[in-house]
Structure 1
């Protein structure tokens, strides 16, 4: 089942300052600094560490456990490093591309807009958030779209594989998704993600 509960609760559980795909809130603002100093670090088991790394991706991309497992299975069957391929598969999701184009504040918000039929891919309405976008796909949002976050026309704030045409209101995937892109590197550095632990978590199910 996809998580629909309190978002900040997840950030505190995973001990993260941010999880951009899930929420824009920062739990550190509400946390008592004195209590944080008194808090003793808990010794974690290897299973617990692996689970936390898996949950970072799962909650960030708003996936169910079953969906996540299917992505890991696909990544394993594809030639190349399983961890890198898994990230590329998740990054190519339609809801994530909308989020990367700054057309929605979170991936969860992007899911809602997509399912409500506000976006088109190559002039065809697509209402499936998990749709896998490909190179040269053009993402267009309808003129009657509700007010969103301020559109970002500055290309420096977008990954290099995405282009935004402010005049036509069209986003384009101009090249293959690259994990070496500075925006992507910074994004996952902030999550402190250790992708190998994610793959190891699913090892028995593959």
Structure 2
């Protein structure tokens, strides 16, 4: 399986991205070195795509599949793409505050700790629907890992389209998110322009 092993802060510097969007509290003290080079239009579009892929932890081929799926749906392609990325199961676990980062959320799903509507799901890219109930399995709820995670993420704001109960490690998807509710610094129109070439 392909894994992105680039150091996170280094990648954040190169993409001009704040590590907070990844759930990481660290900041880099180094300044990005730019030799006053202006990015071309293609460079800007590519950077927006790389930003989206990096934030959600998606590799190139699945990302292209998401774009193809978004273009088949009704409405704006860019908005559809962001909604598809946001409704991934690993992202929803992260947004509910059951994991510190999206990578940790992915690991939680991979290790079969998550139930969706009472059924075990171990696919991080599983697309959640409105009305789905997501919870951590009963036998893992008392684990020290989740107590530590909730202590760290307790102050994190849960988006309006989700409802989370940190005490019982359970939550529901009230509705699908709108573009305004997705607080990711990505200009999806640049990605659409890149793929429409």
* Shorter-normalised TM range: 0.7 to 0.9
Provide the C-alpha distance between the structure 2 equivalents of 1:169 and 1:11, rounded to a whole number of angstroms.
30
Indicate which of 186, 189, 196 corresponds to 1:196.
189
Q: Deviations over 1:51-77 (max 9, x none)?
A: 100000001010110000000011111
Indicate which of 68, 74, 81 corresponds to 1:86.
81
Match for residue 126 of structure 1? 121
SS in 2 for 1:131: coil
Report the count of equivalent residues. Answer: 190
Match for residue 26 of structure 1? 27
Q: Deviations over 1:3-43 (max 9, x none)?
A: 1221111111112232623744322xx215xxx6x854311
167 and 43 in structure 1: CA distance in 2 versus 1, 3 angstrom threshold: closer
Indicate which of 64, 68, 72 corresponds to 1:73.
68
Contact 2:87 2:176 in 1 (8 A): no
Q: What CA RMSD, in Å, does the superposition of the two structures yield over aligned residues?
A: 2.2
Consecutive unaligned residues in structure 2, runs of 5 or more: none
1:96 aligns with 2:94: no
Match for residue 3 of structure 1? 4
Q: TM-score, normalised by structure 2?
A: 0.87
Consecutive unaligned residues in structure 1, runs of 5 or more: none
SS in 2 for 1:25: coil
SS in 1 for 2:130: coil
Provide the C-alpha distance between the structure 2 equivalents of 1:146 and 1:42, rounded to a whole number of angstroms.
49
Provide the C-alpha distance between the structure 1 equivalents of 2:144 and 2:112, rounded to a whole number of angstroms.
12
Provide the C-alpha distance between the structure 1 equivalents of 2:4 and 2:94, rounded to a whole number of angstroms.
18
166 and 6 in structure 1: CA distance in 2 versus 1, 3 angstrom threshold: closer
SS in 2 for 1:180: helix
Contact 2:57 2:103 in 1 (8 A): yes
Higher mean displacement: 158-167 or 82-91: 158-167
Contact 2:164 2:171 in 1 (8 A): yes
SS in 1 for 2:52: helix
Provide the C-alpha distance between the structure 2 equivalents of 1:19 and 1:166, rounded to a whole number of angstroms.
21
Higher mean displacement: 193-202 or 98-107: 193-202
